[in-house]
Amino acid sequence: MLQIISDTGFIEGALRRQRLIVVASLVILVGLAWTYLFWGAGTGMSPLTMSNWQFPPQSSASLARPSWNLTYAIVMLAMWWVMMIAMMVPGAAPMILLYSRTRARASSRGQSLSSLGATSLFVSGYLTVWFAFSVLATLAQYSLSALGILDGVRMWSTSAGLSAAILVLAGTYQLLPAKAACLEHCRSPVNYLASHFRSGNLGAWMMGLEHGAYCLGCCWALMALLFVGGTMNLVWIAGLTILVLSEKLLARGRWFERAIGFLLIATGLSVYAAA
């Protein structure tokens, strides 16, 4: 009996230590991402220059438009990916922590893959999805800049039609069943792990990939709003981060995302009408 109690105490202590390691790692990851954004994300510009409280954003000074080449494209891709890490990892933290605890208990029963290793693979799979999204976002940014409807420096829409279209699209998506299904998955990590658990290295990575796909399905339209307010506009980045967190962690039922949807649609129509 004493041996059982001792073993149980050891396991619980190990679980607490691992939880602290995972939490600290996520805090450091997100902190480094936000620090990178605050330092300009490799653009060579102060984020304050690219941030604006006005809506629609207004440029106060004319700046030289950067030329797109391979180096600049890589900088933009890194900017998007780091931004997605800063914005999306906090909302994914409950799933990551629950997965880590589940794998820790599995490891205590003798499974070969260490729980921290499995958690790292899970997170890497999750971030792979947002890297793919960042590639598409960079291509979209290049295309919109080439069409002359995106400020090449501050990276926000200069077209009322484009801004209105993105706002209405994002608002409409908030109301669709696909949004509800993906959001419900993100809100229910226990149900996801119960029905999608996979063992092994590939299983850990695939679970992260799948969870990332659900998060992408939930939030891609909201991320597109960065083209309206400014890709490096810290006001919009912080606002959208709070919105995503509120949808996943605070709100229950469909009233919250529907309210946001109607608000976005109304804002888009007002932007178009005022043009």
Give residue-wise pLDDT tens across range 207-245: 999 999 999 999 999 999 999 998 889 999 999 999 999
The rounded Cα 274 to chain-centroid distance in angstroms is 31
Q: Indicate if the pLDDT at residue 5 is higher than 60.
A: no
Query: pLDDT at position 61, please?
Result: 56
Check residues 236 and 275 and name the one with the higher pLDDT: 236
Q: What percent of the chain has pLDDT over 70?
A: 88
Query: Could you tell me how many helices (H) and strands (E) the chain has, helices first?
Result: 10, 0
SS3 content of the chain, % helix, strand, coil (to 5): 75, 0, 25
Per the DSSP assignment, residues forming a β-bridge with 157 are 150
Q: Give the chain's largest Cα–Cα span.
A: 77
Confirm if 63 and 153 have CB atoms less than 8 A apart.
Answer: yes
Q: Is 156 helix (H, G, I), strand (E, B) or coil?
A: coil
pTM: 0.88
Within 147-199, where are the H helices?
A: 160-174, 177-187, 189-196
- Rg (C-alpha) for the chain, rounded Å, is 21
Query: pLDDT at position 174, please?
Result: 97
Query: pLDDT at position 10, please?
Result: 44
pLDDT band at 54 (very low <50, low <70, confident <90, very high): confident
**DSSP state, residue 202:** H
